[in-house]
Amino acid sequence: MQEIDTLIIGSGAAGLSAAICLSRAGQKVLVLEQHYVPGGWCHSFFLNGQRFSPGVHYIGMIEKGESTAELYEGLGIANDLTFFRMNPKGYEHVHIGDNKFEMPAGKDNLYESLAVRFPHEKKGLKKYLDMVHAVSQQLQFIVKMRGFWDNLTVPYRTRYLGKYGLFSLKKVINWFVKDPLLQKVLNSQCGDHGLPPAMASFPLHCAVMDHYFNGGYYPMGGGAGIVKAMTKAITRNGGEVRVKQKVKRILLEQSGKNKRAVGVELESGEVIKAKRIISNADPNKTFLGMVGEENLSEKLRKRISKTRYSVTSLLFFLTVDMDVRAAGMDSGNIWMLKDLDVDEIYKKMTAADILSDDEFPGLFISCPTLKDPPSFNGRYHNIEVVTFIDYEVFKKFSGEGGNQTPEYLAMKKRISEKMLNSLEKILPGIREKVVQMDLGTPITNEYYINSTGGNAYGTEKTFNQSGPFSFPAKSEIENLYLCGASILAHGVAGAANSGVKTAATILKCHASDLLKHDASQNITIFDAEDSSEWSEHIRQKVKDKKARFKEVEVGA
């Protein structure tokens, strides 16, 4: 590359989708990633040959005609993607105390399932689920609207969003649903945005719930399967993705009264010039870390000082020599919550002393070797466990992502034991079946993802920091743009859409112009629970995985 049109800092879903759109438009695009693999939160890693994906646990709207499918088709990567449909009878299982509930695919199926358990709430439950879907659809309309007619009819076509959009999830659900236990079930997916009901914006929660109404899907190859398809498209378009390239600062030049981004300087000292820069890092890392506070306007400095970031996380990775399916697990995720008010659970999760109890008040548990059958070697299953905590708990260990002190390692060991205590409730006897385990902390997130405070979802998704109040794609610095979870929406699909939006801003077009329908693009979907319709290719992959593992066992 002799002359770079757009240099993108960070290879998360947003940075990669922006790179696809811009390179396809004829630009010379270079993506720089500080990690040794691309993908950001979408990357996968291996522990002794066992694959884990820390940020991709399920994705919705993958069927033909649905929004995520249209996104991948429009990016030209659908043909390179295979997804497994998670258990349609319960793509999520909600455990609240001793009560267990299924979240089946299909809004009507969800209603029927919960109506049987809560017959006294039938009327309110139906209205609530219909309202969640309506508000989510109206949010999508606003994103897609263009032209005179859309603007003229927007008040009518977004009337429910206008009626409920300013309220918290807690306030709105209280109007429709009175049973506290049913409220907890419906609020279990708060974990997908990281805010308790009292703080969560109702429209945001609607978007999350509606995204999964038709079920959950898991990519073959884990998160890396999506990253591979995206980087392949970038390379095909003439772009380039480089890893182990940490940006030290964004280079600026004075342009009249304004400053203009002209390139970057790497930690290695290398300088790379470009016509424009897109940062897939969060606003703090971008403006304070790479641009420099002294180069910002007073208005932007104030905004950044007031910006709050989402919760951070503990991620527990295990390989077990155990028949987890026989023990009751399937391809559906598990939300394991104590029988407390969900707001109270979040308070306990983010308390200063996270080791005061023997178990965690809330966990998200999944088994990628059940969600992605070709990844199972016939003996060992992988389990991923997530819970949220306050970054302050780990702040004293900041900077220990590479060299870890005995105190930090002792903290990780104590937390791992507490995780196992909680997992025993789901998989009795698991402690004796552990082959290997590792714990990712907020410090791990900082080190590998380079996120402020190890945040999981970018900026905190309260009302005044989401939707139209998110950071804009175009910054106040000429030729410097942003993309990612703090710009349009979080999650795998939300972040990817933000990359498309940023590319559209640069190309001076509408995002929909960059996602044209292509009838030749189709995502391949199989059922994780039913092998009868698997293709011969998938069957062979499953056989090959098991055969290779047996060879290793015999050789050992």
- SS3 of residue 423 by DSSP: helix
Judged on CB neighbours under 10 Å (0-12, 13-18, 19+), 10 is buried
CA–CA distance, 189 with 198 (Å, rounded to integer): 14
Q: Indicate the burial class of 448 (C-beta count within 10 angstroms; 0-12, 13-18, 19 or more).
A: buried
Over residues 410-427, the pLDDT tens digits come to: 999 999 999 999 999 999
In DSSP notation, 330-388 reads: -SSEEEEE-SS-HHHHHHHHT-S-TTSSSS-SEEEEE-HHHHSGGG--SS-EEEEEEEE
Q: What is the pLDDT of residue 152?
A: 46
pLDDT at 141: 62
Q: Each residue's pLDDT tens digit in the chain (556 positions)?
A: 457 999 999 999 999 999 999 999 999 999 999 999 999 999 999 999 999 999 999 999 999 999 999 999 999 999 999 999 999 999 999 999 999 999 999 999 999 999 999 999 999 999 999 999 998 888 776 666 555 444 544 554 566 676 877 889 999 999 999 999 999 999 999 999 999 999 999 999 999 999 999 999 999 999 999 999 999 999 999 999 999 999 999 999 997 888 999 999 999 999 999 999 999 999 999 999 999 999 999 999 999 999 999 999 999 999 999 999 999 999 999 999 999 999 999 999 888 788 888 899 999 999 999 999 999 999 999 999 999 999 998 998 987 777 788 999 999 999 999 999 999 999 999 999 999 999 999 999 999 999 999 999 999 999 889 878 899 999 999 999 999 999 988 999 999 999 999 999 999 999 999 998 899 999 999 999 999 999 999 999 999 999 999 888 766 5
Q: What share of the chain is helix, strand, coil (3-state, %, to 5)?
A: 45, 20, 35
Phi first, then psi, for residue 516 (nearest 5°) are: -65, 145
CB-based contact 339:96 (threshold 8 Å): yes
Could you give the CA distance from residue 279 to residue 502 in angstroms, rounded to a whole number?
10
Domain boundaries, the chain: 6-46+53-83+220-307+460-514, 106-215, 309-449, 530-555
Whole-angstrom Cα Rg for the chain: 23
CA dihedral 19, 21, 26, 32 (to 10 degrees): 0
Q: How far is CA 43 from the centre of its chain?
A: 11
CA-CA distance, 70 to 66, in Å (whole number)?
A: 6
Backbone angles phi, psi at 18, to 5 degrees: -65, -40
- DSSP tag of 294: G
Predicted pLDDT at 352:
76
Whole-number Å distance between alpha carbons of 479 and 262: 8
Question: Quick one: pLDDT at residue 556?
Answer: 59
The rounded distance, in Å, linking the Cα atoms of 373 and 531 is: 9
What is residue 49's three-state secondary structure?
Answer: coil
> What phi, psi does 97 have (nearest 5°)?
60, -125
- What is the predicted pLDDT for the residue at 150? 47
In tens, the pLDDT along 520-535 reads: 999 999 999 999 999 9
Please give the class, per CATH, of domain 6-46+53-83+220-307+460-514: alpha beta
Q: Tell me, what's the pLDDT at 156? A: 44
* pTM, entire model: 0.94
